[in-house]
Amino acid sequence: MRKISYVKAINETLRQMIETDKNVFLIGQGVTSPWYVGATTVGLIDRFGSERIIDTPVSENGISGAAVGAALAGMRPILMHPRMDFMYYAMDQIANQAANWYYMSGGQVNVPLTIWAIINRGGEQAAQHSQALQAMFMHIPGLKVVMPSTPYDAKGLLVASVKDDNPVVYIDDRWLYNHVGEVPEELYSVPIGKGIVRRKGKDVTVVATSYMVHEAVKSAEELEKEGIDVEIIDLRSIKPLDEKLLFNSIKKTGRLVVVDAGWKTCGVGAEISALAASNVFNYLKAPIIRVSLPDTPAPASSPLERAYYPTSDDIVSAVKSRFTEE
Amino acid sequence: MKKKSGVNIPQNMLLKMYTTLVRIREFEEKVAELVSKKEIICPCHLYIGEEAVATGICSTLRKDDYVFSTHRSHGHYIAKGGDINTLMAELYGKANGCSKGKGGSMHLASPKMGLPGSAPIVAGTIPLAVGAALAFSIQKKDAVSVSFFGDGATNEGVFYESLNFAALKKLPVIFVCENNLYSTHLPVSRCLSDTMIYKKADGFGMPGIRVDGNDVIKVFNLAKEAVENARDGNGPTLIECMTYRWCGHVGPSYDLDKGLRSKEELDYWMNRCPIKLLDKFLLKHNILSESEKMQISKDIKKEIEKSVVFAKESPYPDEDKLLDDVFSGVKT
């Protein structure tokens, strides 16, 4: 099959979705900028014009509201936030309006909106240019949250998000943009709410999200040398979450390591740990452990940054610690 | 063409607006009574005194035009043609309420009539109206979108973001500020450095006009022009309607004992009652007789009594509906 980059997969999907559905349009800061969103939006403005590729002023709250309003009037907007840090400005429109509208209207008026949120970290960008807010969105009833880790899923989950009748927060990490993988040319959906086993193993379950799936794969190669057989689950959707896949794996391995590059407290790992503890406690042979960001803002200086972001080494240590505690 | 009243509004439209004013008033007075009796529990922000704004604006709209409303939404719902029975049932928290008992007074919806919803987050629905207008422009529809909000909403940043974006893109949206002089308890002069809200449109190169919001004829005429302008692709307008809520911020009481405003002030505005103003005009021009007036009042009272019966006889939502309607397309 054809191999393309993650960034190309997003670009192609945007083009195909806008081409095939007259209700789809792209709106956000920098969608015509050469550097804001990598190469994900390259060429779209030339193809579709400014009516459906809407570059916007720096007004996160107002523009997010406009996207929600357009969805209420029959469109399927893709609202792009080039940095998650700035989304706090838009929380009213996302959490109060988009997420609640269907419920508040007694199931009469839905919000078919894709909120494309980019994690743009590293490079000494510090506390306000680095955030990964998946847990915050996962907390809110009425929002779905997906985090594709491969070019294939980047396309399939973007299609599924746009086709979904609800607000979906589609989170990608720019560290994934140059990853290359098999991607069919035609449109296809990856179902929201379904995880996938990236590596089969029998000793320990490593559940990971987004970029951390690749770090988990690296760690598994390392651990294999030491005789530890790791099963890796890529959640793909953190809400709804594929509980069955998760529980079945834990029942098999008896050990759980949760890896998510968001903050620790009330993070994705906390939720998964609670789910596991509440549902498959009796299968656990060791306490659950989380690999996450520490509960601190992102630093600037490179050495501090290196210490801040978890890597495969942290996963290796976390996994090993599950075998030494008894 | 001038009508016999000397204004450019057809007689049947004047009568229709009169009926709407009375319907909103009678409905709200009934709600005030039911809230006092604790039959209605959800917080109700009554529209008494402000009826001419919703009526004048919505009377210029088509069914496919959208209206976005606020916490004080009963008047907008009624003026846009929403069903009274399901409105009352919603206030009672009943299953066949206009939002199935999930929304209450602050989340009224009548999508069929062009009211996709209302929300009490101050200024929260302003960008939604802009977005609906954006959708209409992409869809090449000539529909317009109206955002109702209070004077308090002009203290929120998103108000300015919305005005800018709408003007920038020349979107078919009308911003209607219901300036009732108070942002809950604070007088507008203690909130805004410049209380001429309509002037804020200048900063966006958009027409901004202040109007007597208790004079439904003036509101109608101004709205008609703004709506036509928007439909013709000439972009948004900000209309500031000067009006007054008779009751306190929320609930049926006049709250005169709270020391927030004077009895004289309330009397002044009650004397400028929007219904009385139109009433006088219609009688003077022989468009409405005393007996016709009595008949309208009687019919509407009956209609509202029926809505109370409907609401009371309606069932409450089943507890198992609690988890429904979180996601579209997902059954629990």
- Candidate from A52, A56, A103 with C-beta closest to B102: A103
Inter-chain contact B119–A57, Cβ cutoff 8 Å?
no
- Candidate from B124, B145, B324 with C-beta closest to A92: B124
CA distances A255 to A206, A232, A261, A290, A313, Å, are 8, 12, 20, 12, 18
Mutate to test the interface with B, among A52, A72, A113 (most CBs of B within 10 A): A72
Q: Give chain A positions within 8 Å (CB) of B93.
A: none
Is A129 among the residues known to form the active site? yes
Q: Which structure tokens are listed for A8?
A: 């190309």
Query: C-alpha angle A143/A280/A208, rounded to 5°?
Result: 50
Inter-chain contact B131–A144, Cβ cutoff 8 Å?
no
Indicate if the pLDDT at residue B2 is higher than 50: no
A/B interface, count of CB pairs below 8 Å: 158
Taking only the tens place, the pLDDT of each residue in B141-165 is: 999 999 999 999 999 999 999 999 9
pLDDT for B174 equals 98
Mutate to test the interface with B, among A27, A58, A59 (most CBs of B within 10 A): A59
Indicate if the pLDDT at residue B332 is higher than 90: no
Taking only the tens place, the pLDDT of each residue in B181-190 is: 999 999 999 9
Which residues, in sequence order, are CB contacts of B57 under 8 Å at separation 6+? B79, B146, B148, B174, B176, B219, B220, B223, B239
Domains of chain A as residue ranges with CATH = 3-182 (3.40.50.970), 196-324 (3.40.50.920)
A92: closest chain B residue by CA = B124
Taking only the tens place, the pLDDT of each residue in B294-330 is: 999 999 999 999 999 999 999 999 999 999 999 999 7
State the nearest Cα–Cα gap between B117 and chain A, in angstroms. 7
Residue-averaged pLDDT of chain B: 96
- Candidate from B132, B162, B326 with C-beta closest to A72: B132
pLDDT for B1 equals 42
Q: Which structure tokens are listed for B140?
A: 């090449």
Is A214 among the residues known to form the active site? no
Each residue's pLDDT, cut to its tens digit, for chain A (326 residues) gives 999 999 999 999 999 999 999 999 999 999 999 888 889 999 999 999 999 999 999 999 999 999 999 999 999 999 999 999 999 999 999 999 999 999 999 999 999 999 999 999 999 999 999 999 999 999 999 999 999 999 999 999 999 999 999 999 999 999 999 999 999 999 999 999 999 999 999 999 999 999 999 999 999 999 999 999 999 999 999 999 999 999 999 999 999 999 999 999 999 999 999 999 999 999 999 999 999 999 999 999 999 999 999 999 999 999 999 998 55
pLDDT for B255 equals 87
Indicate if the pLDDT at residue B242 is higher than 80: yes
Instruction: Give the integer Cα–Cα distance in Å for B46 and B31.
Output: 8
Q: Which structure tokens are listed for A142?
A: 């009425």
CA distances A241 to A102, A147, A193, A195, A238, Å, are 21, 11, 5, 8, 5
Inter-chain contact B124–A105, Cβ cutoff 8 Å?
no
Mean pLDDT to the nearest integer, B100-107: 97
Q: Give chain B positions within 8 Å (CB) of A141.
A: 326
pLDDT for B79 equals 98
Domain B11-321 in this protein, CATH class: alpha beta
Crossing angle of the two packed helices B51-58 and B11-36, in degrees rounded to 10? 140
Inter-chain contact B135–A70, Cβ cutoff 8 Å?
yes
Q: Give chain A positions within 8 Å (CB) of B324.
A: 107
Parse chain B into domains and list their residue ranges: 11-321
